[in-house]
Amino acid sequence: MSKVTELVEEMVTPILEELHLELVDVEYVKEGPNWFLRVSIDKENGVDIDECAAVSEKLSEKLDEVDPITENYFLEVSSPGAERPLKKDKDFERAIGKNVFVKTYEPIDNEKAFEGTLISFDGISLSIEIKIKTRKKTIVIPYEKVAKARLAVTFS
């Protein structure tokens, strides 16, 4: 993690604790000529625009005080949305029984992308039940081989 994202995480954590919110992710990226500092927040039943605005305002004040970023940037505070990324152990634990999409660093059964129901997670591996036509198959993925994971929206 970059120094900027680590510092912002330290700065935003007490703000989120005060507002009973959780940090999902901090991202500092350059897109075209612009830099973006993106802070993704959530809570049990989702966050609303007023909560995002409150965090943005308080974090912006702290960032102005400390001034850790030399470039001009845009601060974005938002909900992770329906396809929330799964980054921490507790994210995977909460996603058990839900539809997920997982990309791996290397192929497992000749595939690197899997979508299905997360059956289990023990910190070492995760099991996903996928459908192949009319059959169901369980794939076990070592946790260290997970490149990206997120909740996946299904339309049925």
- Contacting residues for 28 by C-beta, under 8 A, at least 6 apart: 2, 4, 5, 8, 35, 36, 37, 38, 69, 73
Q: How far apart are CA 14 and CA 23, in angstroms?
A: 10
Helix (H, G, I), strand (E, B) or coil at 97: coil
Instruction: List the alpha helices (DSSP H) in 19-108.
Output: 49-66, 89-94
pTM: 0.75
Q: Would you say 100 and 83 are in contact if contact means Cβ atoms under 8 Å apart?
A: no
Per DSSP bridges, beta strands 34-42 and 73-78 are parallel
pLDDT one digit per residue (tens) for the chain, 156 residues: 478 899 999 999 999 999 999 999 999 999 999 999 999 999 888 899 999 999 999 999 999 998 888 899 999 999 988 888 898 898 999 999 999 999 999 999 899 999 999 999 999 999 999 988 889 999 999 999 999 999 998 876
Place of tokens 């996903």: 128
Amino acid at 106: E
Cα separation, 150 vs 95, whole angstroms: 9
Residue in the block written with tokens 């260290």: 144
Residue type, 122: D
Distance in angstroms (rounded) separating the CA atoms of residues 16 and 109 = 41
